């Protein structure tokens, strides 16, 4: 542990906050992903002010109560002109209507992006609406448990986040979008919208339809449900997602999905034929094992997000030592520590603590020492 600089026991009375990437950020659609993005923007000091917009006042009240946003708005209006980052996070069916609602009020200089799982339609619509600094995006993250109450910035950590610029996308907008994604802890991958849609049809939308087919077979034979154990549950996990959102997702991408289904049927036909050729089936099994074993494992945060505390620190020596020794002297045990951001005006640390009570205690101690802290407490 770094030795404490005794000449500066704590920072000045004015908390030092890393310079935010954005002044005012708007998250339009505060569900699971939108809420997780809003939480990440606040906790990682990426935006000075985060506004949540949603048609449901109940959702907005919950987002405020959880500390995901600083302000809430039920609809678009002139207030949007102050935003320099706007993220469209509505479900697929509502995404294009939302874009049309927001477009007349957007600041032309604002970076605009979305989190939808199909990119061709929204990219074309934003070009039609002449939203110049739009970069379509898709964080490959989620959970079977939807809604703002399950929002968690850790969902985005280490996730692949696809950005799909078009020929009309300014390079400066793409660069800012990459910086945003990296700031949220995700890994940006850039490709054209049509390439993205073809790929997710195979790796995301096709598995959903396959899960439906398998679960329907079980539903129509009670004997099968008695034998459908862990392996079957793992294979059909995606069938537990929100039915309406999943339906809208696959319908939006139906052209690419039909092609994926055609290739899937071909593979099934080959495997059926291989039942008469055991060596061919064994070769197919080995190929499947090699492919499955080589898939990357996305490691999320190991600590529950509610036990995390993010601390802004000035760009001075021994700040980690000051934070850790201040908490250690008060008996607060830090289980994990991560440097989230280093910018000219300072940086941010994520502290993983043992309990929600420890988070609350540590927040009080560090505020008293002059640090600015943020966390879901």
The whole-number average pLDDT for the span 52-76 is: 94
pLDDT digits (tens, 9 = 90+) for 241-254: 888 888 999 999 99
Range in 154-158, 280-284, 316-320, 340-344 with the lowest mean pLDDT: 340-344
Q: What is the pTM of this model?
A: 0.76
Taking phi over 0 as left and psi of -120 to 50 as alpha, with beta for the rest, 22 belongs to beta
Of 2.30.40.10, 2.40.50.140, 3.30.2290.10, 1.10.3660.10, the CATH number of 197-294 is 1.10.3660.10
pLDDT for res 15: 57
C-beta separation of 47 from 20 below 8 A: yes
- Give domain 305-374's CATH superfamily: ACT domain (3.30.70.260)
Higher pLDDT residue, 64 or 324? 64
Closest by CA to 166, choosing from 115, 204, 130, is 130
| pLDDT reading at 376 higher than 80 | no
Per DSSP bridges, beta strands 22-28 and 85-88 are parallel
pLDDT for res 196: 94
The whole-number average pLDDT for the span 135-164 is: 87
pLDDT for res 354: 82
Count the neighbouring beta carbons within 10 Å of the beta carbon of residue 93: 14
CATH class held by domain 22-191: alpha beta
For the chain, which residues make up each domain, given as ranges? 22-191, 197-294, 305-374
């Amino acid at each position: 542990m770094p030795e404490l600089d005794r000449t500066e026991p704590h920072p000045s009375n004015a908390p030092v906050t890393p310079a935010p990437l954005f002044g005012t950020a708007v998250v339009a659609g505060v569900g699971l992903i939108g809420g997780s993005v809003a939480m990440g923007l606040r906790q990682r000091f990426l935006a000075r002010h985060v506004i949540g917009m949603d048609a449901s006042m109940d959702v907005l009240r919950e987002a405020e109560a959880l500390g995901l946003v600083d302000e809430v708005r039920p609809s678009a209006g002139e207030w949007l002109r102050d935003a320099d980052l706007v993220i469209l996070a509505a479900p697929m069916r509502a995404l294009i209507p939302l874009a049309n609602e927001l477009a007349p009020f957007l600041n032309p200089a604002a970076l605009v992006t979305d989190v939808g799982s199909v990119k061709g339609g929204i990219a074309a619509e934003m070009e039609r609406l002449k939203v110049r600094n739009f970069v379509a995006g898709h964080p490959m993250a989620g959970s079977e448990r939807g809604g703002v109450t399950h929002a968690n910035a850790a969902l985005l950590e280490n996730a692949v986040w696809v950005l799909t610029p078009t020929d009309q996308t300014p390079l400066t907008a793409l660069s800012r979008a990459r910086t945003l994604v990296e700031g949220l802890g995700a890994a940006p991958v850039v490709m054209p919208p049509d390439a993205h849609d073809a790929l997710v049809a195979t790796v995301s939308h096709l598995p959903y339809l396959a899960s439906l087919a398998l679960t329907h077979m079980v539903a129509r034979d009670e004997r099968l449900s008695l034998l459908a154990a862990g392996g079957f549950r793992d294979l059909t996990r995606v069938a537990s997602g929100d039915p309406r959102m999943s339906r809208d997702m696959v319908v939006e991408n139906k052209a690419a999905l039909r092609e994926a289904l055609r290739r899937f049927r071909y593979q099934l036909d080959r495997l059926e034929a291989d039942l008469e050729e055991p060596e061919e089936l064994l070769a197919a099994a080995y190929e499947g094992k090699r492919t499955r074993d080589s898939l990357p494992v996305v490691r999320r945060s190991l600590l529950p997000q509610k036990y995390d505390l993010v601390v802004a620190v000035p760009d001075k020596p021994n700040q980690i030592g000051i934070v850790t020794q201040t908490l250690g002297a008060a008996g607060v045990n830090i289980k994990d520590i991560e440097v989230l951001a280093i910018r000219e005006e300072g940086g941010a640390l994520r502290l993983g603590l043992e309990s929600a009570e420890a988070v609350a205690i540590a927040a009080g101690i560090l505020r008293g020492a002059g640090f600015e802290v943020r966390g879901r407490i």
